[in-house]
Structure 1
Amino acid sequence: MQKRNFLGGMVLILGIGAIIMKMVRGKKTEGNHMEKVEAIKEEVNANINDVADWFMLKGAMSNKKVQKLCYYAQAWSLALYDSPIATDSKFEAWVHGPVNKTLWNRFKCFGWSEFQLTEPERVREILNTKFSESQNKILESVWETYGEFSADELEKMTHEEKPWLEKRKGIGKFESCNDEISESTMKEYYRSRVIE
C-alpha cells in the first residue's frame, strides 16, 4: 500500500482490496489527491435513509453532520464506482452545505440537536443486506476520514469544494437555494482528487 503525506486536506489512500481514507489536519493545500482507480458499477440496494442509519450506528450526531457524511458517501461512490451509494441521493446547495431533502424531512424535528438510533441492533441487521462489500468500504472510509469532524467543520469543507460552489455562484451567503448539486460535477471533482 502506498501512503501519501500532505500538509493538510484530504488524502485517500487505496490499497489492494481496501480503501483507507486519512485526514491530515493542518493548513489546506491544493493538489491533495488519491491514487487512480477504475470505476466499477455497483448495484444500488440502499436508500439514502439506509446510508444515514449506517453513519448513525457510529453514535449520536446532528442533522447537519449526517447530511454531510451522506453527501461525501455519495460523492466518493460516484467518483470511485460511477454509481450512487443509494437511491434518493440527490443533494441541494443549501446555505449550510449540501442537503438531501429526504433526510431533511426525516430529521428536521431535531433542529440543531444531536440524536441517535433507538434500535441500533435491529438497524444493523437490516443494513447487512443493503450494501455490497465495496459500498461498505466507501462508507467506512468516509467515516474514518470525516467522522471526527464537527458538523460546522464539515460544512466549511463543502463550502470550499466545487460541487457546492458551482450551484451557489451568484447567490448571497445566506440566500436560500434549492438547486440540485450536479452528480457529474461531484464525480468529476472527486475523481480529480485521484493521483494518476
Structure 2
Amino acid sequence: MKIIKEQKITYNVKGTPVTFLEKILVDDSTGEEIFDPKLEQENDINLYNEYRKIKGLLLPEKIKEIRKKFGVTQTIFAKVLGLGDKTIARYENGSLQDMAQNNLIKAVSERPIYFLELLRDCKKLKEELNEEDFKILLNEVKEKIKLMTHFKLKIKQNDFKVIDYKKYTPNDIASFILKKYNYDKIKEMITPLKLQKLLNYVYSYLLVFEYKIFDESPQAWANGPVFKSVYEKYSSYGYRCIDIPSEVVSLHEKELENFVLKIAEGYGKFSAKDLEHLTHKEKPWIDSRKRANVKEGEFCTEKILDSDIKTYFKNLLEI
C-alpha cells in the first residue's frame, strides 16, 4: 500500500536556508520511498513559495493577477517591463524571480499609471505592432486602469457597523454630503452628475452591509445610475456646481456619517466624467439597460436591482 508522509526538511535556496514540509510517497509495507513526479513538482512549488515568503517576493498567482488586471498577455506584459518574452510565463508557472524584477512588478501594481507610461515608451511593441494595433492596445490598457480605481478605495467587511438601520431619502444623504464634504482636500465642488455617482456608491456599499438606506432605487439612465428625486431637486444646476446647503440632515449614528464620508471622499477624488465611466463598466447598470432593451445613449428608467448591486459590490470588498 502506498501512503504519503510529510517530513520537515531544510534546503538551501539561493544561499538562504528554507524549511518546509516535504511530501514523500512511501511503500507502507517496506518503508521504501517511491519517486513520484507530481509530488516532486508540488514540493518544488511549496519550497519556492516558502522562499518567496521569506524574501517578500510575489507568489506566482499574484503575478498572474496583476498582469490580468491590465488585460494583457504574458508576452506583452514582459515586453512592457523590459523583460525577456518568456519571463512572465516562467514566473507564473513557478520559476523564481529576482528582487529587482519582483519590485518592478509590484511598482506597476501599486501605481498602474506607471505601467501605462512604460507601455507608451515601449519601442519593442511599437516596432512589432502597426500604429493602429498599438493605439488599440494603449486604449484597452487605459480602460483597465480606469476600472482599477475601484480597488483603491479600501472598503473592508468590518468598516461599517450600526445598531439602528434608520431609513433616509436620497436627498437627505445628498444634503449631508454637500454640507460635510471635504472640499479643501478634494479641491473640487460637486455637480449634479458627480452627486448622483457618489450617492450610488453610498447606496451600493451599504447594500452589501445589508443596509438599504433608501426606499428609492437607482435607475439605469444613459449617464449612469440616477436617483430621480435627487435629479428633480438639482437639475436646474445643469453642469454647474451645487451650492453648499445652509442646513443639513444629521445622520442618526456617527459610524454612518463616517462611512458616507469615506465613500464620498474616496470616490470624490475622481471627476464626474471618470465616475460616469466607472458606472458604465459595472454589471448592475449594464444588465438593467439590457433588460430594458435600450441602445447606448438612450433614455431609460429601468431600476437597478438590489440583488445585482449586492453581488457586484461584494466582490469589491477587501476580505
Shorter-chain TM-score bucket reads: 0.7 to 0.9
* Matched residue type, 1:98: P
For residue 50 of structure 1, what is the amino acid of its counterpart?
D
User: Cα offset for 1:193?
Assistant: 1.7
Unaligned ranges ≥5, structure 2: 1-65, 71-109, 114-144, 184-188
- Equivalent of residue 280 in structure 2, options 152, 159, 167: 159
Map of 2:165 onto structure 1: 43
Give the C-alpha shift of residue 99 in structure 1.
Answer: 0.4
What is aligned with 1:74? 203
**1:90 and 2:185 correspond:** no
2:241 — aligned with what?
114
Q: TM-score, normalised by structure 1?
A: 0.74
Find the counterpart in structure 2 of residue 16 from structure 1: none
Following superposition of structure 1 onto structure 2, how do residues 132-147 of structure 1 map, counting pairs within 5 Å? Answer: 132-147=253-268
Q: What amino acid is the match of 1:184?
A: S
Q: How big is the shift at 1:179?
A: 0.2
The change in CA–CA distance for 1:24 and 1:165 in structure 2 (over 3 A counts) is farther
Shift of 1:116: 1.3
Percent identity at matched positions?
A: 24
Q: Which amino acid aligns with 2:190?
A: M
User: Which has a greater percent of strand?
Assistant: 1
Name the residue aligned to 1:172. 295
Is the 8 Å Cα contact of residues 160 and 256 (structure 2) preserved in structure 1? Answer: no
- Where is the helix percentage greater, Structure 1 or Structure 2? 2
Question: Which residue in the other structure is 1:64 paired with?
Answer: 193
Pair 1:31–1:93, CA change in 2 (3 A): closer
CA RMSD of aligned residues (A): 3.0
Cα distance change, pair 95–38 in 1 and its aligned pair in 2 (3 A): same
Asked if 1:189 is matched to 2:312, the reply is yes
Identify the match of residue 252 of structure 2 among 108, 131, 134.
131
Structure 2 CA distance for aligned equivalents of residues 179 and 133 of structure 1: 33
Distance 1:89 1:131, change over 3 A: farther
After TM superposition, give the deviation of residue 137 of structure 1 in Å: 2.6
Contact 1:78 1:183 survives alignment (8 Å) = yes
The SS at the match of 1:115 is coil
Listed one character per residue, the Cα deviations across residues 25-47 of structure 1 (whole Å, up to 9, x for unaligned) are 64245995854459867512422
SS at match of 1:61: coil
2: CA distance, partners of 1:31 / 1:47: 25
User: Aligned partner of 2:302: which letter?
Assistant: D
Gap runs ≥5 in structure 1: 1-5, 10-22
CA gap 1:167/1:140 in 2 versus in 1, 3 angstroms: same
| TM-score normalised by length of structure 2 | 0.47
- Contact 2:178 2:245 (8 Å CA) reproduced: no
Partner of 2:24: none
> Is the CA contact 1:44–1:84 (under 8 Å) kept in the aligned structure 2?
no
Q: Flag the structure with larger Rg.
A: 2
DSSP 3-state at the match of 2:299: coil
Letter in 1 for 2:234: F
